[in-house]
C-alpha cells in the first residue's frame, strides 16, 4: 500500500482510531481527562517490567477511594481507570467500580487478565465496567517468560474468552522491548484473527523492576524502524496499532504526511500532568504511571487542589520541556515522553532521548 493509500485508510477509520473510549496509558488526547488509580501494588504475576514494584506505603481505603472518584467526577466526563498491581486482588474492587460508574465517567480497567473467570467477568460488567485492557507480551511461553509465571498466557486467554462471553469490551496492552520484539508480529496476527479492536504497543520505560532490564529499551534507530513497521503493518490489519509512551508517533504521522490539517485530527502528545493524573496505592499523585515523582498526596490534600496547584503539573501544562524537545516543531503535538526523560536523566522536563525529530529547528 502506498503512502496515499495509508493516508486514506487513516482518514476513513479516524473516528474509530481516535475514539475517546480506550483504556489509555495517557499518551493520547482523552478529553476532558483521564484519572488512573492504581488501587494496589499486590499482584499474582512477577513481570520483568513492573513499574510499581518500588512503591511502598499503605493502600488507600475504600472511603478514600470513593473520595477520589467524587473529585475526579468534578472534572467532567473523564475516563476513570483502575489499575494495579492487579486490581482484581483488591477486595472492594466491585464496589469501587460500581461507585465510579454511578457518575458520568467512562470506567475502564487495566488487568493482567489471569484472574478473570466467567463469574468475575459477569460481575465486572454488572458493576459498570465499560472496557478491560489485558496484557499479552508474547504468544505462549514468551508471554510467561516476561510475566514471570508459567501458565499466565493460558490464563489470560481464558480471561479474554470470559469477557467476550459477558459482552465486556476488551483491548490489548503489549510491552515492546528488545527481548520480545520478535513476538510483536505474532501478537498482531493473534489480535487480528480474534477481531480485537486495539493493541497498545507500550515502549518499555526503565522504572520499577524495569530498571533491571533497561538494556531492553529500544534505541532511537530501533524506535524509528518500529514506527515504520507499525505504520506499514497497519495497512494490512484491522486491529488499530497504537504506540504508547511514544508521543512522537503522532509527530511521525504528521512528518510522513499521513495526517494533516484537513483530517481534523488533533494530537496533544504526552498528557502526563496535563489531562492525565495517576494515583499510586499509597495516595501519591503523579503525572503518569511511569513517572514516580509526587505532586502531592490524597491523604494531605484534595485531589483537585493537587491538580490545580502542583508546580510540577503547572510546568508540564506549560510544556516547559528542555533540549531538543524545547525547540522541536512538534513540541505542541508531542512534547516527548516525560517518563522516559525522567527515567534516563532524573529530570522530567529533559528532552526525550528516543527521538530523531528534535534538530533544534523551529
Ligand atoms: S524532539 Fe521531543 S517534542 Fe519533538 S518529536 Fe521528538 S520527543 Fe516529540
Ligand atoms: S509520560 Fe510517557 S507514558 Fe506517560 S503519558 Fe506521557 S508519553 Fe505517555
> pLDDT for 3-51, tens place per residue?
777 777 777 777 666 665 555 545 666 677 899 999 999 999 999 988 9
Q: Report the pLDDT value the prediction gives residue 12, as an integer from 0 to 100.
A: 73
Q: Which of 244, 268, 331 maximizes ligand 1 atoms within 8 Å of its Cβ, making it the mutation to test the pocket?
A: 331
- 8 A C-beta contact, residue 166 and residue 124: yes
Q: Is 316 in the pocket of ligand 2 (CB under 6 A)?
A: no
* Ligand 1 atom 1: residue of nearest CA: 358
Q: Report the pLDDT value the prediction gives residue 7, as an integer from 0 to 100.
A: 76
> What is the Å distance from ligand 1's center to 353 Cα?
9
Ligand nearest to the CA of 327: 1
**DSSP letter at 58?**
P
> What is the Å distance from ligand 2's center to 165 Cα?
33
Q: Is 278 in the pocket of ligand 2 (CB under 6 A)?
A: no
Q: Report the pLDDT value the prediction gives residue 340, as an integer from 0 to 100.
A: 97
> Global pTM?
0.92
Atom of ligand 1 nearest to the CA of 334: 8
- 8 A C-beta contact, residue 37 and residue 82: yes
* Ligand 1 atom 2: residue of nearest CA: 325
CA distance 20 to 18: 6
- 8 A C-beta contact, residue 155 and residue 111: no
CA 133 vs CA 107, 136, 196, 310: distances in Å? 12, 10, 11, 30
Cis peptide before 85 (omega within 30 of 0): yes
Ligand nearest to the CA of 354: 1
Q: Is 333 in the pocket of ligand 1 (CB under 6 A)?
A: no
Q: Report the pLDDT value the prediction gives residue 191, as an integer from 0 to 100.
A: 94
Phi, psi of 321 (to 5 degrees): -80, 160
Q: Report the pLDDT value the prediction gives residue 361, as an integer from 0 to 100.
A: 44
Nearest Cα neighbor of 250 from 234, 266, 263 is 266
> What is the Å distance from ligand 1's center to 64 Cα?
38
CA distance 229 to 225: 6
Ligand nearest to the CA of 328: 1
Q: Could you tell me which residues are beta bridge partners of residue 288?
A: 291
Q: Cβ-count burial of 342 within 10 angstroms (0-12 exposed, 13-18 middle, 19+ buried)?
A: buried
Phi, psi of 276 (to 5 degrees): -120, 135
At 46, list the grid cell.
512477577
Q: With a cut of 50, which residues of the chain have pLDDT below it? A: 25, 360-362
CA 199 vs CA 125, 278, 290: distances in Å? 21, 21, 19
Amino acid at each position: 500500500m502506498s503512502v496515499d493509500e495509508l493516508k486514506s485508510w487513516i482518514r476513513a477509520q479516524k473516528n474509530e482510531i481516535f475514539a475517546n473510549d480506550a483504556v489509555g496509558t495517557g499518551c493520547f488526547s482523552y478529553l476532558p481527562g483521564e484519572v488512573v488509580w492504581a488501587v494496589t501494588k499486590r499482584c499474582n504475576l512477577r513481570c520483568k517490567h513492573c513499574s510499581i514494584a518500588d512503591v511502598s506505603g499503605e493502600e488507600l481505603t475504600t472511603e478514600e477511594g470513593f473520595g477520589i472518584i467524587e473529585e475526579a467526577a468534578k472534572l467532567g466526563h473523564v475516563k476513570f481507570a483502575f489499575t494495579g498491581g492487579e486490581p482484581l486482588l483488591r477486595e472492594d474492587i466491585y464496589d469501587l467500580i460500581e461507585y465510579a460508574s454511578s457518575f458520568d465517567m467512562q470506567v475502564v480497567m487495566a488487568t493482567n487478565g489471569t484472574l478473570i473467570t466467567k463469574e468475575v467477568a459477569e460481575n465486572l460488567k454488572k458493576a459498570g465496567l465499560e472496557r478491560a485492557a489485558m496484557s499479552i507480551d508474547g504468544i505462549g511461553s514468551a508471554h510467561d517468560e516476561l510475566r514471570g509465571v508459567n501458565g499466565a498466557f493460558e490464563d489470560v486467554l481464558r480471561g479474554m474468552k470470559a469477557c467476550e462471553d459477558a459482552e465486556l469490551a476488551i483491548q490489548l496492552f503489549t510491552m515492546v522491548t528488545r527481548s520480545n520484539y520478535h513476538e510483536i508480529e505474532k501478537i498482531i496476527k493473534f489480535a487480528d484473527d480474534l477481531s480485537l479492536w486495539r493493541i497498545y504497543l507500550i515502549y518499555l520505560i526503565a522504572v520499577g523492576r524495569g530498571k533491571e532490564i533497561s538494556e531492553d529499551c529500544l534505541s532511537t534507530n530501533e524506535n524509528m524502524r518500529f514506527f515504520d513497521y507499525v505504520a506499514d503493518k497497519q495497512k494490512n490489519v484491522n486491529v488499530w496499532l497504537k504506540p504508547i509512551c511514544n508521543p512522537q508517533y503522532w509527530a511521525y504521522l504528521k512528518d510522513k504526511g499521513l495526517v494533516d490539517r484537513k483530517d481534523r485530527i488533533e494530537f496533544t502528545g504526552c498528557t502526563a500532568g496535563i489531562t492525565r493524573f495517576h494515583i499510586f496505592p499509597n495516595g501519591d499523585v503523579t503525572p503518569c504511571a511511569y513517572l514516580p515523582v509526587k505532586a502531592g498526596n490524597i491523604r494531605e490534600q484534595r485531589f483537585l487542589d493537587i491538580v490545580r496547584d502542583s508546580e510540577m503539573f503547572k510546568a508540564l501544562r506549560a510544556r516547559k520541556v528542555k533540549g531538543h524537545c524545547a525547540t522541536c516543531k512538534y513540541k505542541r503535538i508531542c512534547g516527548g515522553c516525560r517518563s522516559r526523560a525522567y527515567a534516563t536523566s532524573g529530570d522530567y522536563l529533559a528532552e526525550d532521548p528516543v527521538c530523531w525529530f528534535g534538530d533544534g529547528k523551529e
